[in-house]
């Protein structure tokens, strides 16, 4: 890899560390800008040399230097995943407004997935900031026609609302939260009407596989409430990178 590719990957690692901070602090209503990182177990402030993405986790052997408590594997995994996704998006789009536009999409999906998995909530303020940033970058860079983005938002949100409504009627309880509907709406803006339906389909397939895996791991028991955000986020990300290829494969397999 040349210097630019390495730099992009390292920048992605740094953003991954920041996304971990966002996923931890936002549900706790803590500032994501002010305040030093600290150990959640002993509260000791973590100096910068113990907070280097990936490297610090390896050198510390996954434990806090001060109290010895285990550091969650979430932190290095999110850092590495964010670095790889940033690099992959750069290889696909280069330095461009499209790169920035979809990087916002990917980064917010990661935070939404982490928070939803931990709290079973998709927060309105995150979706609102995500949408506003998308609109601003799209207005400047003309990444996707606003007509396509608007139709994509309506189709995505409308489809998910219909699924949620039918699920509630069939199962006589809330089968899907409004947070998932709003996520589909905002994601539809980023993906456009041509891709959002396929992205939602991928999300449902991944969710079905994920729930099946949970059922196996928990020995035939499924939690009363399974957060859908992480599954949809994965489906949307896959669709962004390989949506058309997966759609072509799907038609080949089932035609």
Mean pLDDT of 24-53: 85
CA gap 216, 150 in Å, rounded: 40
Mean pLDDT of 237-254: 83
State residue 215's pLDDT score.
80
CA gap 24, 174 in Å, rounded: 27
What are the CA-CA distances from residue 61 to residues 21, 24, 49, 64 (Å)? 20, 21, 14, 9
Residue range 170-190, pLDDT digits in tens: 877 776 788 999 999 999 999
Whether 222 shows a pLDDT value over 70: the answer reads no
Q: pLDDT confidence of 223, banded at 50, 70, 90?
A: low
Whether 150 shows a pLDDT value over 80: the answer reads yes
Mean pLDDT of 215-243: 82
- For residues 73 and 190, is the Cβ–Cβ distance under 8 A? no
Range with the lowest mean pLDDT among 84-88, 123-127, 173-177? 173-177
What are the CA-CA distances from residue 208 to residues 112, 202, 222 (Å)? 19, 10, 12
CA gap 77, 98 in Å, rounded: 25
pTM: 0.92
Classify residue 178 by its DSSP letter.
H
State residue 164's pLDDT score.
87
């Amino acid at each position: 890899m040349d210097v630019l590719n390495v730099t992009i990957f390292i920048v992605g690692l740094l953003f991954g560390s920041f996304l971990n901070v966002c996923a931890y602090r936002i549900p706790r209503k803590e500032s994501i800008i002010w305040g030093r990182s600290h150990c959640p177990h002993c509260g000791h402030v973590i100096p910068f040399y113990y907070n280097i993405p990936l490297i610090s986790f390896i050198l510390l052997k996954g434990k806090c230097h001060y109290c010895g408590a285990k550091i969650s594997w979430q932190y290095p995994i999110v850092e590495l995943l964010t670095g790889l996704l940033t690099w992959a998006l750069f290889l696909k789009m280069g330095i461009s407004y499209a790169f920035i536009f979809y990087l916002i999409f990917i980064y917010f999906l990661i935070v939404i997935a982490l928070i939803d998995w931990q709290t079973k909530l998709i927060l309105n303020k995150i979706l609102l900031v995500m949408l506003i940033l998308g609109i601003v970058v799209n207005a400047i860079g003309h990444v996707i026609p606003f007509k396509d983005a608007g139709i994509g938002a309506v189709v995505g949100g409308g489809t998910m609302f219909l699924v949620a409504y039918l699920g509630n009627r069939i199962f006589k309880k809330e089968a899907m939260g409004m947070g998932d509907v709003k996520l589909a709406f905002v994601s539809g803006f980023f993906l456009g009407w041509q891709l959002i339906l396929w992205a939602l389909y991928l999300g449902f397939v991944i969710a079905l596989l994920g729930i099946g895996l949970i059922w196996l791991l928990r020995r035939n028991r499924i939690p009363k409430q399974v957060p859908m955000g992480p599954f949809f986020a994965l489906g949307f990300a896959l669709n962004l990178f390989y949506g058309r290829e997966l759609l072509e494969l799907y038609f080949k397999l089932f035609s």
